[in-house]
Structures are given as C-alpha cells and as structure tokens.
Amino acid sequence: MDVVVQLQRQLADHTASLFHEGFLNEQFNQLQQLQDESNPDFVVEVVSLFFEDSERLLNELAKALEQQAVDYKKVDAHVHQLKGSSSSIGAQRVQGVCIPFRNFCEEQNNEGCLKCLQQVKHEYSLVKNKLETLFKLEQQLIAAGGSFPTL
Amino acid sequence: MMQGNIWISTNLLGFAQSMTLVLRFQTRPSFGRAIFAHGSSSEPNSNSQFKGLKVILADDDDLNRTVTKKLLEKLGCHVTAVSSGFECLSALSAAENSFQIVLLDLHMPEMDGFEVALRIRKLRSQNWPLIIALTASAEEHVLERCLQIGISGVIRKPVLLQGMADELRRVL
C-alpha cells in the first residue's frame, strides 16, 4: 500500500481522535489556519512555546505549593497563566483543570490545589504526547513525499 | 458510504466558522491535511480592508502575543508587539510612530491595560489611536470600566480570527 496514503490516514485518524476526545478544540484549528508559506512552522513553534511555558509553570506551581506558608495569590497567578496559554492553543483538557484549580486557590484549599496540580500535570503530559505524535506523523508524511495543504 | 465524518465548529457568535471533513480516498494525496478546511468566506475581504493598518499589541504572555500578532498579520495589519505597558507607552510617544490601533491585554502584571489606556488618553491630544482591550473576562464591570476610560472595543480571549476581524471592522 502506498506509504503516503497510509500516513495520511494515520494523521487524519490521530487528529480526529484528538478532537473527539476533547484534547484539542477549535482554537487549535485557528492556529493551523494561521500557518502559511511565510510561516510554515507556525503551529510547531507556538506549541513548543506552550510546552516550555507549561513546564516552567508546573515547576513553579509544585514549588509554591510545597512552601510552609503557601502564597495562594502566586499559585493563582501561575494557574491563570497556564489557563491562558492552554486556551490560546486549544489544549482544552488542560484549560479545563485550571478552572477548579483557581477555585481551590481562592479557598486556599491546599489539598484541592495539590489534587488539581496532579491532574493538570497528567493532562499536560497526555496532550504533549499526542501533539508530539501529530508532528512526527506530519514530518514522516513530508519525508515520504506527501504533503498537506497549508491553509 | 465514504466512511467519512463531517462536523462544523462554530465561533462564539454561533456562526459556522469552519467545517471539518474526513474522507478516505485512495488517489488524492492532498487530502491528508484537508481535515481543517478553510475558515469563513469573509477572510479574503478582511485582508484588504485592514491592509497596512498600523497596530501596536501589548501582551505580557509570549505565547498569546505570538498568536495574536500572527492573527493580525494574517488580516493584513502591520504589527508592533510589545510585552509591557511601559514599552507600549514609549512606542506611542515616539514621534515618528503613528499607530491607528492599540490592542491591550487588560491583565498585565506591572501596569494593567486600564492604566495604560488612561495614560494613552493623557498622552496625545492629536493622535488618537483607537484602543481595543483583550481580556479573558466577560464580566459586566470590566466592559463598563473600558467604556469609561475611552476604550473603543473589547475582544475576548482566546482570540479568534473572525472575532478580531469583526471587532476591528466595528471600531474603524
């Protein structure tokens, strides 16, 4: 079977499942629409920024929640940032966990915050893996001589 | 029949923004990525309407700033992106710069968007750029405060291409 067609199917299936399972939402479509010949790697660049930002924020969150006297304002600020960036790229599930997380911050509920931190870390690593797979499939497709139209 | 799938995603206003179509073909190599079909048909018009529009964008978040800047450029705008209220005011004060639109993130750490807007209004009496606020909040008091300060428009985050185009069209 033609390798290109096979890869295209894989890519299509993988992408479709990301949306169906709620990992990504239409905001991600938006990013893809912004990619063009003048900026062919736009999506990868933005998603990489998201990975860097998120990892930094998750570290900061872990540190902040370990303190003897937790500064909930600081924690909330970090979660707010994470919520903003995840919503900008359409990482829906990550964004979703940020909402109860912020509520727990307001309540100064340490246990709730820690639980949310675990959850958001989990969702982040899931979406990260899936996006990395997506990009790998795209690269394989291009390498095999196939292409996908940039919008 | 084609073992495919189709769904339409809408933007905040309920308009069909994009259509997603997944089909399985044997002989059409260009379909691999065509899942994300084109956005609304008004896009080509936006490009010419906003062509050369000078915009200054102030947002402290790198990721948001990158995405919003690209979005504006896609609409044909000429964008200067800064990461703080201070930089924004400096850029506006520079005599040779004449921006038509100022896009302000309301929630920047050192100087928030409201403060920047107030100072902009005090800055220049001749050159009055239109100020549009960017916010994740949908609260009434935020909108009211914007109007009081002289902010002409508000765009909710996360920013969509159509939302930006609509609001720009509205204020211009």
The CA distance from A121 to A124, in Å, is 5
For B54-171, CATH number out of 3.40.50.300, 3.40.50.720, 3.40.50.2300, 3.65.10.10 equals: 3.40.50.2300
Do B61 and A81 make contact, defined as CB atoms within 8 angstroms?
yes
Domain boundaries, chain A: 3-21+41-143
Q: What is the largest CA-CA distance in chain B?
A: 65
Q: Is B71 on the interface with A (CB under 8 A)?
A: yes
* B30, B35, B62 member nearest A16 (Cβ): B35
Give, in order, the Cα–Cα distances in Å from A97 to each of A120, B87, B115, B147, B154. 6, 33, 31, 32, 26
Mean pLDDT lowest for which of A7-16, B9-18, B118-127?
B9-18
Q: Is B90 on the interface with A (CB under 8 A)?
A: no
Do A42 and B70 make contact, defined as CB atoms within 8 angstroms?
yes
CATH architecture, range A3-21+41-143: Up-down Bundle (1.20)
The CA distance from B4 to B35, in Å, is 11
A73 neighbourhood in chain B, CB within 8 Å? none
Domain boundaries, chain B: 54-171
DSSP state of B13: T
Mutate to test the interface with B, among A7, A26, A51 (most CBs of B within 10 A): A26
- Write out the two tokens for B69: 């800047």
What is residue B125's predicted lDDT score, i.e. its pLDDT?
56
Per-residue pLDDT tens digits for B142-159: 888 998 888 999 999 989
ipTM of the predicted structure? Answer: 0.85
Per-residue pLDDT tens digits for A98-122: 999 999 999 999 999 999 999 999 9
